[in-house]
Amino acid sequence: MALPSWPGTSWQGKLTAAGWGFVGTGAAVLLAAQAMGRRDLLHLAVFLLLVPAAAWISNRLFRPGLRVDRATSPPVVEAGQRAEVHLTVRHSGVLVGRMSMAELLPTALGTGPEFGYPGRTVGADGASRYRYQLLCPRRGLYTLGPVEARSTDVFGVAEQRTRIDAGTQLVVTPAPVPLAASVLSGLRGIEGVIATRMQANPSEDDVMTREYRHGDPMRRVHWAATARHGELMVRQEESATSPEATIILDLRKDAFPASTGHPVPSGEWSPASEEFEWAVRAAVSVAAHLSDLDYTLRLLDVDGSLALSHSISATEPDAPDYAGRPGLAAVAEGLAAILPRAADTGNHGQTHASEGFGDLLLDRVEAHGQRGPIVAILGRTSTDDARVLAPAAATTERALAVVVTERAGTCRAAVQALRSAGWLAVEVTPRTRVDTAWLALTEEVAAW
């Protein structure tokens, strides 16, 4: 993700330590020449003072135009993995003296490399190419660069510095954790399709059986229904629909009170609280697991809004659902820079206030609930909020909830309220492994 074009900051010239040594020595010799009345010392003093002055003027007169092109491979990297950064540097104008460059990086990504210019090998287009590897320890949106160029004269007496480009944004997505398939075993969507008997416009054909019509093959006769109705009945073909899963990701600021995350100031990325980071890691893990089971994914906030619409890294923030590997990639990229809403200004520069569970969420869950499971990943949740969410379990085959809190037992009453309504719910802390929390739901599945 490239940042806007960068006109480049002005060259900032100054003398090096060697240059100031010339100035200091020249001043001392000049004083000695005056005190001793010797013309030869005066000539030496003038020479010593002219050298840094001439070097500084030459640096001001000969300022090469520099251009940097930067690309990362892969363009979006998963947390804990390495990315390879490719730099192409070109110049126009006269290049006098020596030049070195350094890639400036956010603190979380370590110290950037330094390299000489021109490089050891220069392409036919006159460009010098460099590459280096970068370890990306955690999710976020980072700015790579800019490249800072340092140019000195032939004698190294004066130097000038400039930042060539505005940098390039690197998206680091959260890394999913493999989850056990046993938690969702037995759901009809696991095979990749589900049979739906309800269509957008209900009609006579939206039932399992119907009256025999001339031309219907005898193999479709439903004998049990025929005996019950006293007339010949045939099986109604069921329509196949891709299964859909709903992931509810809690983005309330109040649910994660310790969150201090903020997006990309000067290329730096500050993560949110441990609880919210755990929730995001769980969300991408559940999304990857459901995608592997051929579910179409829907991500909602607890107020019913589209969760990824609050992320500055989302490539498809207003998409109602995500399908297949491209859809999973879009979900992961959207989760790269998602933050609790009170800390997120959104794509339109508007601050979103913290809101609780709403009717819109229940309406959207009910509209799609029969097509697949619901997985809610919540922060600190009150018993009243849990009671608002609880009825959603009745609209789906399986409703699962993971409540992450700073201390175990904080939301025990809320978890119990969800369980009483048919949810499979557990409470965890940031120290709990995501796959362990997911497996803890299997005990609930066995008892359900």
Per-residue DSSP letters for 137-156?
Answer: -S-EEEEE-PEEEEEE-TTS
Residues 79 and 135: their CA atoms lie apart, in Å, by 8
Q: Are residues 280 and 233 in the same domain?
A: no
Q: CB–CB of 45/33 below 8 Å?
A: yes
Q: Lowest mean pLDDT of 36-45, 69-78, 123-132, 236-245, name the range.
A: 236-245
Residues 403 and 291 in one domain: yes
User: Do 344 and 385 share a domain, yes or no?
Assistant: yes
- In a shared domain, residues 321 and 232: no
Q: Output the pLDDT for position 284.
A: 98
- The answer to the question of residue 20 being in a domain is no
Query: How much of the chain, in percent, has pLDDT values that exceed 90?
Result: 54
Report the CATH number that the domain containing residue 336 is assigned in CATH.
Answer: 3.40.50.410
The dihedral sign for the CA sequence 288, 289, 293, 295:
negative
Provide the number of structural domains found in the chain.
3
**Whole-model pTM?**
0.79
227 and 127 together in one domain: no
Pair (354, 434) in one structural domain: yes
The CATH number covering residue 139 comes to 2.60.40.10
Give the pLDDT band of residue 368 (cuts 50, 70, 90).
confident
Which pLDDT score, from 0 to 100, does residue 204 have? 38
The span from the CA of 312 to the CA of 261, in Å, is 13
Q: Quick one: 354 and 425 in the same domain? A: yes
- Per-residue pLDDT band for 64 (boundaries 50, 70, 90) equals confident
* Rounded CA separation 369/388 (Å): 16
pLDDT over threshold 70, residue 433: yes
Residues 258, 400 share a domain? yes
Q: What is the residue range of 221's domain? A: 198-237
Window from 76-80, 107-111, 267-271, 394-398 with minimum mean pLDDT: 267-271
Say whether pLDDT at 191 is over 60: no
Residues 6+ apart with CB under 8 A from 43: none
The reply to whether 224 and 251 lie within a common domain is no
pLDDT for 232 equals 84
**376 or 154, greater pLDDT:** 376
The answer on 147 and 283 residing in a single domain is no
Helices 17-36/39-61 angle, 10° precision: 150
On whether residue 55 sits in a domain, the answer given is no
Tell me if 40 is assigned to some domain: no
**pLDDT given for residue 240 in this prediction:** 47
Please check whether residue 1 lies inside any domain of the structure. no
- If you average pLDDT over residues 402-415, what whole number do you get? 94
The answer on pLDDT for 36 being more than 80 is: yes
The dihedral through the CA atoms of 427, 433, 434, 436 has a sign that is: negative
Average pLDDT of the residues in 329-350:
75
pLDDT at position 349 is: 44
Q: Is residue 8 part of a domain?
A: no
The verdict on 107 and 250 lying in the same domain is no
Q: H/E/C letters for each residue in 20-70?
A: HHHHHHHHHHHHHHHHHCCHHHHHHHHHHHHHHHHHHHHHHHCCCEEEEEE
Other CB atoms within 10 A of residue 108 CB: 16
Whether residues 429 and 309 fall in one domain: yes
The confidence score (pLDDT) of residue 202 equals: 40
- Residue 80's pLDDT band, with cuts at 50, 70 and 90, is very high
More confident residue, 224 or 335: 335
Give the mean pLDDT of 167-185.
Answer: 93
Query: Is residue 144 domain-resident?
Result: yes
- Tell me the average pLDDT across 240-268: 74
DSSP annotation string for 287-320:
HHHHHHTTPEEEEE-TTSSBGGGG-TT-SSTT-S
- At 342 the pLDDT is 59
Lowest mean pLDDT among 288-292, 315-319, 440-444: 440-444
Question: 302-331: string of b/e by CB count within 10 Å (b at 16+)?
Answer: bbbbbbbbbbbbbebbebebbbeeebbebb
CB atoms within 10 A of CB 1: 14
